[in-house]
Amino acid sequence: MLTADVLGPEIFGHGKTKDYPLWFWAGQQVLQGGDLYPHDPQAAFAFLYPPPAAILLAIPAFFGKIPLYICLSLLNVAAWWIVAQLSNAMAGDGEVPSPWLAALPSIAMISFTFDMFDLGQPNLVLLALMLLGFWLLQQGRSWSSGSLFALATAIKVFPVAVLPYLVWRRQWAAAASTAIFLAVFLIVIPAPVRGFQHNISELKTWYQGMVGSSSEAGFGKRDDQNWSWMNQSIISLTHRLTRPVDYNQDNPNTAPGYMNLLDLDFKTSNWIVIGVSLIIGLGFIAVMPSRQRRTPRSDAEEFGILFCLMTVASPLARQYYFIWLFFPLTVLIHRAAYDPRASVRTGTWIALAISGFLVCLSLPPFPHDWQAYGNNFLATVVMAAGLAWHLLYPPEDKASSSTAPAGSLSASGRVP
């Protein structure tokens, strides 16, 4: 049905909209040797992704629009299945959930999954790559895991936030692999396709326009979205709360909306962003168990918090970015179902219900003003807090996790 939403308008209607025509254009630019970005980094960019993403799109785009759209839809189908399987298998309790419980995360996240198909965004595919990378890391295959982290970063930059985590956890091989393969994907592989000098020039233009530019107007070539209600990142929320920016700036026909509690300048707000991010990072470090105390259960909770933080740390965190809550949600569902403490099970279900209520505030009946205050961000905070509590207060009976060595997939290794 979700694939039909993509193909139906293209085959029987006036053509699929959203980002799909842009992906076809980018693939055709590679095939025809055209430029992906304007020569002036200050000009508007149609394609916001690094050059390797366009090269990957060029392969199915060679055969036409419909083959490209079919390929992207099948990638989302495969990614959905991989994410669901790995999320349940990596929950760290060694339990094989019933079919309904195993399907519950997919049911709860269906609106985000719909966005992946409808918009043509790759975030679900990126989540599959990242989860598979962590699964390989648990199996001791550090270089393979790093290659997947690098591939996700080469497609859409924000997964690079995994690199500081790998360094902190002294996963030196995985960190080195991520850095080396990132260079391979950004420089080596595109060279014979685009030409070495052409690729370097485009990479430089993309970096200057997307990463190296930031001002009061915005960043990343999406000035109309950066401070708007659409963006629920730490950066955007902090600026909306600390200086008078119009969160309805994406729609000039709507009256300006302001939610600032303070009236600070741009530079001071940026310092607050740094301070808040530092506090969150130190808090994450504080709840991490020592290497000797790590178990598959604690790893699942730790990874879940990491996925929460990577989501909101992205400069632009629109609605569909929160598909990355799939894994944290699954871990919490496992804790709500299988924790030996009845009161903890009840408390976890309550936390999940609160998160679900907050996420539902993004549905069309509710005003955009509520999203401006960060309903998805707050849902992420509730999930991360729940996972942190489970990290700090594991059950005394660790039979479900202690039977497997730290870093292994699960006690049983079974996948539902």
Q: Specify the DSSP class assigned to residue 403.
A: T
13 CB contacts (<8 Å, ≥6 apart)? none
Task: Please say if the pLDDT value at position 17 is more than 50.
Answer: yes
- For the record, the structure tokens of 392 come out as 């700090």
- Give the tens place of pLDDT for each residue, 115-168: 999 999 999 999 999 999 999 999 999 999 999 999 999 999 999 999 999 999
Task: Please say if the pLDDT value at position 103 is more than 70.
Answer: yes
Q: Specify the DSSP class assigned to residue 324.
A: G
Task: Tell me which amino acid residue 240 is.
Answer: R
- Number of H helices and E strands in the chain, helices first, is 21, 2
Alpha-carbon torsion (162, 167, 168, 173), positive or negative: positive
pLDDT attached to residue 397: 59
pTM above 0.85, yes or no: yes
Contact call for residues 320 and 115 (beta carbons, < 8 A): yes
Residue with structure tokens 């495969």? 78
Task: Tell me which amino acid residue 154 is.
Answer: A
- For the record, the structure tokens of 232 come out as 């629920």
pLDDT attached to residue 211: 83
pLDDT interval class at 252 (50, 70, 90): confident
The span from the CA of 143 to the CA of 133, in Å, is 9
More confident residue, 209 or 275: 275
pLDDT attached to residue 216: 80
Give the pairing of strands 214-215 and 218-219: antiparallel
Secondary structure of residue 62 in the 3-state scheme: coil
Q: What angle do CA 76, 324, 363 make, to 5 degrees?
A: 90
Question: How far from 203 is each of 36, 40, 220, 371, CA to CA, in Å?
Answer: 10, 13, 14, 34
User: 10 Å Cβ neighbour count for 245?
Assistant: 23
Residue with structure tokens 């205050």? 373
Domain coordinates of the chain in residue numbers? 2-402
pLDDT interval class at 44 (50, 70, 90): confident
Residue of 300, 317, 329, 314 whose CA lies nearest to 376: 317
